[in-house]
Chains A and B, each alone.
Chain A
C-alpha cells in the first residue's frame, strides 16, 4: 500500500459552517446522494434535496449504510439492450437516471469495495455498462466512526489514498479535505472561499483524529492462510451446515460491497418481435 503523503497543495480545510454551502455547490457536479439519517435509525445513501432538512440529516460518521454504494454502478436490475427482429441490440433510451451523480460520505471500506468492483469489471474484458456509470460518479469520501464490528484493519481497508475525488476527515469544527483527482480540485476551485488553507495546527489535529480512529478499530480477523484453508476444507461439512440454513433470500449479495454475480434475462414484448435484455443480481 502506498504511503500517506499529503502535499499541502492538495489539501484544504472546510469549516463546518460552510458545509451546507459545500453540499449545495456539489449540485452543479451531479445529483447529490449521501447517507441520510432515517427515522428508523438506518442510514441509507439517499438523494439530498435542496431543503435544509436533508442537509441536516446527512450523517458522515454513520457506522454503515444498509446497502453499499455498489447499487449506483451495478444496479440490482438493469436494462442492457433493446432488441428487435432484425437482430439489432441497441442501447435503451435514456431513462433520466443516467446523469452524473455525486456520492457524498463514502467510507474507506466502501471506497475499497468500489476499487475491487472496478477491477472485476475491468479485467479480461472492460464492461462498458459499469464504466458508463462509473465515469459519471463523483466520490466524496469521509472518515468513519468505527464500531466494534469493523474489521478494516485486517483488510487494510481503513485508509484510502485513491478511489475518491475528495475526502473529508472530521477534525472537530472543520473537515480536513484531501483532493484525489483534478475533478476534486475543480469542486474546490468552483467555490474557493468556502475553504481555507491548511495550517500546521490542522495537521496536528488531523493526525490525532486518525490515530484515535486507528485505535478504535479493534476487531481483527486472521486472514493470512484463509485462501489455503478454504481450498483444503473444500469437503468440510461446515458448508453443508451453512448451506442448509440458507433461504436463498440473496440478502448477502445485496449487502456485499463487492459481490458481482449476475444473471441475464430476455423479456419479449407482446408484439413477439422486440424486447429488452436485462441483467439482475444473482
Chain B
C-alpha cells in the first residue's frame, strides 16, 4: 500500500528518486554507458519510457543534467544512459563507483511517434554520439520487428574507436532484417576496418533503392554540421519534411515545461521535443 509519503513523491514531478548505479562500461574514449536501477523495486518494475525520451540525472551536490535514454523500453528493468564527461554533473557521475546512489526523474519529452511510424520503413541516421538517443528506437523496432517495414541504420563517426555500442552495431551488419552500414571519417594507420570510409551521407546509395520515401520515416541525430548534408539527401530522396524526425538538445533545467531554459520560439524542447520533425524545426528560429 502506498504511504502518504509515496503519494506525495508521485505527485511531485520535480523530486528526483534514488537510483543505484549497477554497472558502467567505457563505450568510446570519452563516453561511458551507465546502468541504473531505482532503489524502489516497485518503481523499477513499473517505470517505462518511449524511445527518444530523456531523464533528469542528479549527482549529489552538483545539480541536474538532462540525459537521453539509450536503453529500449522493450528491455526494461534497467535504465541505460550514455554519458559524455562534459560538466559538473557528468564529471561527478564519472567519479561514482558501482552501487552509488544518484537521483533520477522522468521520463520527459515527447519521444519518437512510434504509433505513426508503425507499418512504415524507417531509416536511422546517426553521427557520433547521436547514436545515444537513437539506440532506444533501434532496439524498440528490432524487438517489435513485425510492426515496421524495411529498416536501415546508417552510422558514422570520426574513427572506429569513437563508435558507440561498436560491438552491438557491428553485430547488426550480419542481420538480414535490418540494413546496417557503418562509416568512419578516417581509419588510423594500423587499425582494421572492414566497413565504409567517409562521411555518413556516403552511405545513402546503399539503401536508396530499398527504402520507399513515400512510406518511410527518417530518424536523425548527430552533430549540427551533419544535419545540413543529411537533410539535403533525405529531401532529395523524396522524404516529406514531416517524416524526418530529429532529436535535438537544449539545456533543460526543469524538464516539465516551466523554467523556460529550453524554450525555442514558442516551443519547449522538454515538452514539444526533444524529437522534432524537420518541418517543426524549419519554423523555429535557431533550432538547427
Binding site for B on A (CB under 8 A): 80-81, 83, 85-89, 91, 120-121, 123-129, 231, 234, 260-268, 272-273, 275, 279, 282
Please tell me if the beta carbons of B14 and A265 are within 8 angstroms of each other in the complex. no
Of B42-50, B57-65, B187-195, B215-223, which binds chain A?
B57-65
CB of A164, distance to nearest CB on chain B (Å) = 24
Given contacts A85-B60, A85-B101, contact A123 B257 (CB under 8 A): yes
Q: Contact check: which of A81, A126, A261 meets B259 at CB < 8 Å?
A: A261
Take A85-B60, A272-B61 as given contacts and tell me if A124 and B256 are in contact as well, using a CB distance cutoff of 8 Å.
yes
**Residues of chain B whose beta carbon lies under 8 Å from any beta carbon of chain A:** 8, 11-19, 39, 58, 60-64, 101-103, 253-254, 256-261, 265, 271, 285
Q: List the 3 closest A-B pairs by CB distance, nearest first.
A: A87-B18, A87-B101, A268-B61
Q: Considering the chains assembled together, what is the distance between the CA atoms of A192 and B226 in angstroms? A: 72
Contact A87 B39 (CB under 8 A): yes
Chain A residues with CB below 8 A from B60, complex form = 83, 85, 87, 268, 273, 275
A264 touches B64 (CB 8 A): yes
Known: A261-B260, A263-B261. A89 touches B63 (CB 8 A): no
Contact A120 B258 (CB under 8 A): yes
Jot down 28 A-B pairs with beta carbons below 8 A, ordered by A.
A83-B61, A83-B103, A85-B60, A86-B18, A87-B18, A87-B102, A88-B18, A89-B16, A89-B58, A120-B258, A124-B258, A125-B258, A127-B13, A127-B258, A260-B260, A261-B259, A261-B260, A261-B261, A262-B254, A262-B259, A263-B259, A265-B63, A266-B58, A266-B63, A272-B61, A279-B259, A282-B259, A282-B261
Kindly state the separation between the CA atoms of A89 and B61 in the bound complex, as whole angstroms: 11
Q: Can you name the residue of chain B whose Cβ is closest to the Cβ of A279?
A: B259
In the bound complex, do residue B256 and residue A127 qualify as a contact, i.e. CB atoms below 8 Å apart?
yes
Contacts of A261 in B (CB 8 A): 259-261
Name the distance in Å between A281's Cβ and chain B's nearest Cβ. Answer: 10
Contact A121 B258 (CB under 8 A): yes
Kindly report which residue of chain A lies nearest to residue B56, judged by CB atoms. A264
Q: Is the CB of B13 within 8 A of A125?
A: yes
* Contacting residues, chain B, for A81 (C-beta < 8 A): 15
Residues of chain B contacted by A120 (CB below 8 angstroms)? 258
CA distance A273 to B101 in the complex (A): 12
> A87-B39, A124-B258 known; 10 other A-B pairs, CB under 8 Å?
A83-B58, A124-B256, A129-B14, A234-B285, A262-B258, A263-B253, A263-B259, A264-B63, A266-B63, A279-B259
Which A residue's beta carbon lies closest to that of B89? A266
Q: Is the CB of A125 within 8 A of B257?
A: yes
> Are A264 and B253 in contact, with the CB atoms below 8 A?
yes
Query: Given A88-B18, A124-B271, A127-B14, does the pair A264, B258 have CB atoms closer than 8 Å?
Result: no
Q: Which residues of B contact A262 (CB under 8 A)?
A: 253-254, 258-260
Q: A83-B103, A128-B12 are in contact. Are A275 and B61 (CB under 8 A)?
A: yes
Using CB atoms, name the residue of chain B closest to A123: B257
Contact of B61 among A86, A263, A266 (CB under 8 A): A266
* Docked complex Cα distance between A263 and B63 (Å): 11
Which residue, of A87, A267, A279, has the highest number of chain B Cβ atoms within 10 A?
A87
Q: Which residues of B contact A124 (CB under 8 A)?
A: 256-258, 271
The CA of A275 and the CA of B259, in the complex, are separated in Å by 22
How far, in angstroms, from A41 to B8 measured CA to CA in the complex?
Answer: 44
CB distance from B46 to the nearest CB of A (A): 18
A282-B260 in contact (CB<8A): yes
* Shortest distance from the beta carbon of A218 to any chain B beta carbon, whole Å: 31
CB distance from A127 to the nearest CB of B (A): 6
Q: Is the CB of A266 within 8 A of B62?
A: yes
> Within the complex, what minimum Cβ distance (angstroms) separates A276 from chain B?
10
Given known contacts A87-B18, A89-B103, A266-B62, is B258 in contact with A260 (CB within 8 Å)? yes
Chain A's closest residue to B88 (CB) is A266
* Residues in B neighbouring A260, C-beta threshold 8 A: 258, 260
Which residues of A lie under 8 Å from residue B260 when comparing CB positions?
260-262, 282
Chain A residue contacts of B19, Cβ below 8 A: 87
A50–B39 CA distance with the chains assembled, in angstroms: 51
List chain A residues, Cβ under 8 A from B101: 85-87
User: Which residues of A sit under 8 angstroms from B257, Cβ to Cβ?
Assistant: 123-125
> Closest CB-CB distance, A278 to chain B, in whole Å?
11
The chain A residue with its CB closest to the CB of B12 is A128
Contacts of B63 in A (CB 8 A): 264-266
Q: Which residues of A contact B64 (CB under 8 A)?
A: 264, 266
For the complex, give the distance between the alpha carbons of A83 and B58 in Å.
10
Q: Name the distance in Å between A67's Cβ and chain B's nearest Cβ.
A: 20
Residues of B within 8 A of A123 (CB): 257
Q: How far is the CA of A88 from the CA of B6 in the complex (A)?
A: 12
Residue of A nearest to B18 (CB): A87
Q: Give, as a whole number of angstroms, the nearest-CB distance from B53 to chain A.
A: 14
Give A263 to B64 CA distance when docked, in angstroms. 11
User: Measured between alpha carbons, how far is A153 from B261 in the docked complex, in Å?
Assistant: 32
Distance A124 CA – B13 CA, assembled complex (angstroms): 11
Contact residues in A for B58 (Cβ distance below 8 Å): 83, 89, 266
Known: A234-B285, A265-B63, A266-B62. A89 touches B15 (CB 8 A): yes
Measured in the bound complex, the distance between the Cα atoms of B101 and A126 in whole Å is 27
B61 CB contacts on chain A under 8 angstroms: 83, 266-268, 272, 275
Instruction: Give Cα distance in the complex from A279 to B254, angstroms.
Output: 10
